[in-house]
Amino acid sequence: MRIVVLTGAGISAESGVPTFRGKEGLWRKYDPRDLATPEAFRRDPKVVWEWYNWRREMIAKAQPSEAHRILAELERRRDLRIITQNVDGLHQRAGSKKVIELHGNIWRVRCVICRVRYYDERVPLEDLPPKCKECGGLLRPDVVWFGETLPQEELEEAYRLSSEADIFLVIGTSAQVYPAAELPFVAKRSGARVIEINPEETPVTPYADLSIRKGATEGLREVLDQL
């Protein structure tokens, strides 16, 4: 039995990482469309990097939640794959190995000149904006910004896994950001049992076989016996 899990900001909120759309989310303090876009980066890369430095410092202080650890343990015992919209790397820190990152990783940088990618987990990054260690070009966070397409290889794998799932868990995502929001419906059409864990209703709720109005950890505890 293959279990596929789609996670969103809600699972990391339990680690103290603010969501963009929650009541205490970053949407209420900043407009990411002014910062997380290619246009903003071309206009003022230092300001964009100052914001990402702040986000990296915040995430560095966070620890994987119990929900992250439950999924890592399930991966060791079952055929389980994780598809995440998060860029914080907390699934990997919890021990998960099979993670598809649809929106990139905040700890990875990419050169705008030579396109090389590598991890740089220094906190904070100094001498902003940082430069490529290979060619000296400007580095940007290796995350998907507004107006950019998702990485094709990861997206294709996510669709394939969703279509092959026996159980599809949707945890802590608003299900409003496409194409990731389509994955539960791909799984449903392919015959998977869809289980949603979210304190709030989402577009997935009417179509889920089971919808649990709880946080990630509490909800996962509730469905463990079914997995």
Active site amino acids: 103
- Its sign, for the CA torsion 187, 194, 67, 14, is positive
Distance CA 176, CA 54 (A): 26
Is 90 in contact with 12 (CB distance < 8 Å)? yes
Tell me the one-letter amino acid at 136: G
Tell me the one-letter amino acid at 159: Y
Q: Is 133 helix (H, G, I), strand (E, B) or coil?
A: coil
- Number of Cβ atoms within 10 Å of the Cβ of 12: 28
